[in-house]
Amino acid sequence: DSGVTQTPKHLITATGQRVTLRCSPRSGDLSVYWYQQSLDQGLQFLIHYYNGEERAKGNILERFSAQQFPDLHSELNLSSLELGDSALYFCASSVASGILGETQYFGPGTRLLVL
Amino acid sequence: AQTVTQSQPEMSVQEAETVTLSCTYDTSESDYYLFWYKQPPSRQMILVIRQEAYKQQNATENRFSVNFQKAAKSFSLKISDSQLGDAAMYFCAYRSGTYGGSQGNLIFGKGTKLSVKP
């Protein structure tokens, strides 16, 4: 158990819908990273938050957004869902902002299926 | 942009034997970190080992060790005394050590699926 929690574990929804994925980092960790794992794209970085502020964006679609709250949990919002958004979404947390090369610990992931 | 390449989509090893998984990367940075993550059928991403580029000594964690060749930009993972529980996807990952670079996110290879035969 990495100490990172993600809810829900599974999500099935229809095209055009909107969903919210939730992540709680390890106690004391200030950074949250979101990654998407799909068969065709592999593991891709989406977005990074540090202590409530957005730090970096990767291959995140405009239909996707995220935020980190004062209690440091984070939510990833996916809207206007398409079949191709079906994937495993991971969040990872680390203690600092990333410049120290600190290890990222991954949550169990949320498996999203868009029908 | 940095890239990570794992040229072996699948590997197989006999239980108790040794296997080496390959990883190469491309970067113009001198300061960075390298990782191996394991993803078993449960899909959980588990850190296996990490290596700081500024360290010449190869990292080891019990049965897992790396062969880090900075000049060749190679970072292979050796698993000794393979066990059935080692069967998983293994991902090599790169992380910039330069502030203002990729801001600390991981860049992953495509993965190597390791099977362990009893």
With an 8 Å Cβ cutoff, are A55 and B35 in contact? no
pLDDT digits (tens, 9 = 90+) for B45-77: 999 999 999 888 999 999 999 999 999 999 999
Is B5 near chain A, with CB under 8 Å? Answer: no
Q: Among residues B75, B88, B89, B78, which one has the least CA distance to residue B2? A: B75
pLDDT digits (tens, 9 = 90+) for B86-97: 999 999 999 987
Query: Residue A3 forms beta bridges with which residues?
Result: none
Would you say A58 and A109 are in contact if contact means Cβ atoms under 8 Å apart? no
Q: Choosing among B103, B108, B113, which should be mutated to test the A contact, i.e. which has the most A CBs within 10 A? A: B103
The DSSP result for A29-42, as a single string, is --EEEEEEEETTTE
What is the number of other CB atoms lying within 10 angstroms of the CB of residue A8? 13
pLDDT digits (tens, 9 = 90+) for A1-39: 889 999 999 999 999 999 999 999 999 999 999 999 998
Dist. CA A67–CA A49, nearest whole Å: 7
Dist. CA A20–CA A79, nearest whole Å: 9
